Structure 1
Amino acid sequence: MDSCLVDITIEFLAVAFHSILYYTSTYPESIFETKKKYNIVVYRSMHPELNQYIDLCLKSIAECLKTGQLKRLEFAITDNTYKSILKFIFDFDHMDFYDETADAYLIKTEQNLRAFCLKLATLSNKFTNLPQDGSFTIYIHTNESTAVAMASKPDLEDFPLVEMDDKYEDSDKILPIRRFSVRNCCIDTYIEFAK
């Protein structure tokens, strides 16, 4: 994926992550400020440590995108024992062939990113009864060689990836958000609720 499209995707994920934290009330509303993005109002944390953590995660995600080895992102809202309550899934499907003239000015892409944010806001009533002392975890699904290459990058040394077990629980309660493309990468977004 070229660097411009990596930047667009990372910028979108930053907006999505902050919005998820706001709409799930993982942190108090008072730490969020309103910003304008994609011609709508979005929320962004003002908490320096939280923003630093999200930025470091996004830096790792950008490395995976640059190599085309990002398969899935899971933004999991957890309880106080770090058990996932709901997961916001971003599945990445890299296409070999695409029409470069389609959406050359990224107008359709911006409309899709705006639609994702608006849909997330309308779904906020589904995020009730979440624990007050919850947290979140970001899972990056990539291959082993990309993880090893990232571990040897000096600018990522302070933020190592931790390999997770292959244990994965399927959910039978899934709520689709939106499927859209950013040039040659399709992103399928949905929410998985814990059983």
Structure 2
Amino acid sequence: MADSPPLTFSQAVRGIAEFIEVAIHTILYVRQIYPADLFIRRKKYDTPVFQSRHPALNDYISGAVKAIGEQLLTGNVEKVVVVIKDKEEVGLERFIFSIDNMIQVEAFNKDTSVENAISSAALGQYFRGFLVKLNMVESQLGQMYLGDDVSFSISIELKADNPPGTKDKNPPPWIPAYTQHTTSGASENSEMHLIRAVNTGILDLSLAVQESDVKLQREREALRRGKPGIATAPKPPPPRSEDALGKDGEQLAVSNPDGSHIDKPTNRNRPSVSFVEPVEVSMKE
């Protein structure tokens, strides 16, 4: 490991994007968004992981990660958020990948090793630590007991005033994201738990999970009723226009790269495809 060359900017981006993809599958498994038999056991970063084997779900995730990787190359990403939500689109948990560019690298220099950066081997060991902690997150968060009523979405929060960039000749359209799913829509009564952080010498990456105030309130109600998990809630009113667009309309989203709007399999016993939700991308103020 000590003899391995330091990372290049491009390697750091590819490594982080790849890890985010592995982590998304892990989140869906450990939070029981799908039944365990939808996943297959694999090995990554010298540790066991679980990967979805549902083709449409995998396409949705890989499409989102492709968009994330493109934005990472531009230095435009502030956060990637995986939102666990109920059937009424209310966010319950946000798994937040925060990214901070430590250095600026010119396009012609992105494949040159960066002095004082860690090596690819060292980065893999850090990611192993992330996954070990992520697999233990249920001890902090508990189970949700929502059954078929739980789903998820993926969002990217971009840096202020920076429009999303892409090399695609026909880029997917950018559409509004639901503010409540973004970190800017989180209540001050939500609770944050840091999972792990790493400084690569090029990009800083940290992973945290945030329990929304809605989730915490429902858990308290469920405990008062003597039932574990999260209590159900009445259907909320439709969002106001400013909720859908965000402050000054800065909340943006991108649809799936293939043009379809693929959501998760909605039936936990017999996976299916719901053409409802796009891969979301938001621009934070």
What amino acid maps onto 1:82 in structure 2? E
Give the helix-richer structure, 1 or 2: 1
1:173–1:145: structure 2 CA closer, same or farther, 3 Å change rule? closer
After superposition, the C-alpha distances for 1:96-149 in whole angstroms (9 at most, x for unaligned) are: 28x72442x3333112100010001111232402411211011101145432x3
After superposition, the C-alpha distances for 1:44-88 in whole angstroms (9 at most, x for unaligned) are: 000000000001101110111010110011100010111111000
The TM-score, its normalising length taken from structure 1, stands at 0.88
For 1:92 and 1:4, the matched residues in 2 are separated by 15
Secondary structure at the counterpart of residue 36 of structure 1: strand
Secondary structure at the counterpart of residue 163 of structure 2: helix
1:28–1:154: structure 2 CA closer, same or farther, 3 Å change rule? farther
1:145–1:174: structure 2 CA closer, same or farther, 3 Å change rule? closer
Contact 1:173–1:194 (CA under 8 A) maintained in structure 2: yes
Larger Rg: 2
Give the strand-richer structure, 1 or 2: 1
- The aligned residue for residue 45 of structure 2 is 38
- The aligned residue for residue 200 of structure 2 is 182
Contact 2:45–2:124 (CA under 8 A) maintained in structure 1: yes
The TM-score, its normalising length taken from structure 2, stands at 0.61
For 2:102 and 2:87, the matched residues in 1 are separated by 39
1:120–1:61: structure 2 CA closer, same or farther, 3 Å change rule? same
Give the paired residue count. 190
Query: Are 1:26 and 2:33 matched, yes or no?
Result: yes
For 1:6 and 1:107, the matched residues in 2 are separated by 15
Query: Are 1:129 and 2:144 matched, yes or no?
Result: yes
Determine which of 96, 102, 105 is the counterpart of 1:95. Answer: 102
For 1:9 and 1:156, the matched residues in 2 are separated by 22
> How do 1:57-136 residues align onto structure 2 when only pairs under 5 Å count?
57-96=64-103, 100-103=115-118, 105-125=119-139, 126-132=141-147, 133-136=149-152
Q: Which consecutive residues of structure 1, in runs of 5 or more, have no partner in the other structure?
A: none
Contact 1:91–1:189 (CA under 8 A) maintained in structure 2: yes
1:169–1:121: structure 2 CA closer, same or farther, 3 Å change rule? same
Query: Are 1:163 and 2:180 matched, yes or no?
Result: no
Secondary structure at the counterpart of residue 164 of structure 1: coil
Deviation of 1:10 (Å): 1.2
Q: Percent identity?
A: 28
Instruction: Answer with 56-65 or 165-174: which moved more.
Output: 165-174
Contact 1:72–1:141 (CA under 8 A) maintained in structure 2: yes
Contact 2:99–2:204 (CA under 8 A) maintained in structure 1: yes
Q: Which consecutive residues of structure 2, in runs of 5 or more, have no partner in the other structure?
A: 1-7, 105-113, 214-285
Contact 2:76–2:162 (CA under 8 A) maintained in structure 1: no
Contact 1:23–1:127 (CA under 8 A) maintained in structure 2: no
- The aligned residue for residue 16 of structure 1 is 23
Secondary structure at the counterpart of residue 57 of structure 1: helix
Secondary structure at the counterpart of residue 146 of structure 1: coil
